[in-house]
Amino acid sequence: MTPEDRGTLAREVDALRSGERDLTALGDAMHAAVRRLYPLCRSITGDGVRATLDVLAESLDLERHGVPSGTQAFDWTVPDEWNVRDAYVADRTGRRVVDFRRHNLHLVSYSAPVRATMTLDELRPHLHTLPDRPDWIPYRTTYYSRDWGFCLADAQLRAMDEGPYDVVVDTTLAPGELTYGELVLPGESTDEVLVSAHVCHPSLANDNLAGIAVATEVARTLAGLDRRRFTYRFLFAPGTIGSITWLSRNADVLPRIRHGLVLTGLGGPGSLVYKRTRRGMRDVDRAAAHVVTRRGGEVRDYSPYGYDERQYNAVGFDLPVGRLSRTPHGEYPEYHTSADDPSFVAPAELAEAHLAVLEVLDVLEDDACVTNLSPFGEPQLGKRGLYPATGGKQATDAVMAMLWVLAYSDGATSLLDVASVAGADFADLRRAAASLESAGLLAREQGLPRAPAGTLTAD
């Protein structure tokens, strides 16, 4: 590590990987954030979103934006704001058999106000359960149609008699605003990296709080650096309507976005999964694929269903934004149920996700084409202190990394290209390139004029 690397992302990544920084403590801190945010009743608008942003603002210099209800955002309209005071179903004795105060998921999100007395048969069309998971509460929404409902464990429903029941949904749906938070960390370049997490789900630990926690810790890490190559923009917005609204209000920003990641579902079980951008071979795709596959994870092609990556990749924007998660939505039974609670999220998984995101950003920050300044045969590394004094032994990993860099440093091949050919870790080649550059054997070129993807082979 050269003196210039102190206070850089490369330095932070190396410190976490070596144990110099306590990654376990970071995982515990992120899990504590998940537990703290879990009770808040979030939706696509309302007090729960603002309360969530209040917590994030304790450690991030967030700028908060409020967009009035009725505002047009392309084909969408910002809806009325929704807030909850209380909601329950009570039997004849006044006992609440379904109670929003016990769990946020009991109330269908965006339920319209109701006060009525109903039999169980009258109530059934408004009740949602999971018969195959009789002890779990499902998560349901009615954002864009005026309806109402309750979610409950199927075992609860089977225990209910014919009633009658007092049904109360004490909510408000009225003109207000859609709220999102944004943090911009300026870099040496005005080119931007977008990191996005959705903030609209109530009491779902993996499906949104894990992404929020990792995004927050990544932002804190980057904010503490002395030097950043790119400008970083963190967006904490409600899913779909939030990202579409942000896109509609930031036409001047979009041309500057060079790379992006949507973070979600990063605290549950399963290996890391990266979903490519729509084009499939953007720089962020190559960087994320390198990191995720070396961590034993999976890379998937783009599909138009998922989280906000589908908004950023829409043909009108065509932004280079991929998605990082663990087991994707809908592929684990706890998804969108009360079983997705803080116990489902592991500090170690959050910690690994945090480091993986930093590693992807490290590739984006430090990848460059390099030129061998001593290209006529292998330069003598020993006289520059880069080769062991005693020869005849197998080359060390550090020496092999330098030899790989020198072998392909033709000014048109990037370090990530070399890592692909060599089957090497990008960080090892980054360190090797720094050593060679300090010794006057290598020059870093501006930009990344690479050979076409797939043209390099390890013959």
Task: Let me know if residue 377 belongs to a domain.
Answer: yes
Binding site as annotated, residues for Zn(2+):
201, 207, 336
Q: pLDDT exceeding 90 applies to what percent of the chain?
A: 87
269/346 same-domain check: yes
pLDDT at 382: 76
341/398 same-domain check: no
Task: Let me know if residue 458 belongs to a domain.
Answer: no
Contact assessment for residue 215 and residue 262, using Cβ atoms and an 8 Å cutoff: no
Which CATH number fits the domain that encloses residue 381?
Answer: 1.10.10.10
Which CATH number fits the domain that encloses residue 332?
Answer: 3.40.630.10
Binding site as annotated, residues:
201, 207, 336
Once rounded to an integer, what is the mean pLDDT over residues 172-197? 98
The whole-angstrom separation of Cα 405 and Cα 387 is: 15
Q: Tokens in use for 274? A: 């990266």
Task: Let me know if residue 347 belongs to a domain.
Answer: yes
Domain edge (last residue) among 366, 399, 424: 366
pLDDT at 453: 34
316/196 same-domain check: yes
Band of the pLDDT at 1, cuts 50, 70, 90?
very low
Band of the pLDDT at 377, cuts 50, 70, 90?
confident
Task: Let me know if residue 185 belongs to a domain.
Answer: yes
190/69 same-domain check: yes
Q: Per-residue pLDDT for 455 more than 90?
A: no
Q: Per-residue pLDDT for 457 more than 80?
A: no
Q: How far is CA 246 from the centre of its chain?
A: 17
pLDDT at 384: 76
Average pLDDT over all residues of the chain: 92
Task: Let me know if residue 449 belongs to a domain.
Answer: no
**Looking at the 3D structure of the chain, how many domains does it have?**
3
Give burial (CB, 10 Å; 0-12/13-18/19+) of 423: exposed
Task: Let me know if residue 457 belongs to a domain.
Answer: no
Band of the pLDDT at 2, cuts 50, 70, 90?
very low
Mind listing the pLDDT tens digit for each residue in 397-408? 888 898 999 999
189/224 same-domain check: yes
Band of the pLDDT at 328, cuts 50, 70, 90?
very high
362/373 same-domain check: no
The whole-angstrom separation of Cα 2 and Cα 409 is: 20
Q: Per-residue pLDDT for 294 more than 60?
A: yes
32/101 same-domain check: no
pLDDT at 446: 64
Element (H, E) at 259: strand 257-263
Q: What is the largest CA-CA distance in the chain?
A: 91
User: Amino acid letter at 110?
Assistant: Y
Mind listing the pLDDT tens digit for each residue in 39-48? 999 999 999 9
111/21 same-domain check: no
Q: Is the pTM value of this prediction over 0.95?
A: no
Task: Let me know if residue 459 belongs to a domain.
Answer: no
pLDDT at 445: 81
Measured CA distances, 440 to 10, 297, 380, 382 (Å): 21, 37, 12, 14
Torsion of CA 382, 383, 384, 385, to 10 degrees: 50
73/140 same-domain check: no
359/381 same-domain check: no
DSSP 3-state of 258: strand
Domain, as residue range, for 290: 3-78+177-366
101/25 same-domain check: no
pLDDT at 451: 37
Name the nearest CA neighbour of 27 among 296, 305, 352, 268: 352
Band of the pLDDT at 385, cuts 50, 70, 90?
confident
pLDDT at 54: 98
Task: Let me know if residue 299 belongs to a domain.
Answer: yes
Which CATH number fits the domain that encloses residue 152?
Answer: 3.50.30.90
Q: How far is CA 3 from the centre of its chain?
A: 31
More confident residue, 454 or 373: 373
398 phi, psi to nearest 5 deg: -65, -40
211/298 same-domain check: yes
Mind listing the pLDDT tens digit for each residue in 270-287? 999 999 999 999 999 999
Domain edge (last residue) among 174, 190, 220: 174
Domain edge (last residue) among 174, 201, 227: 174
Sheet order of strands, 165-174 included: 96-99, 81-90, 165-174, 114-118
Q: Tokens in use for 19? A: 């144990």
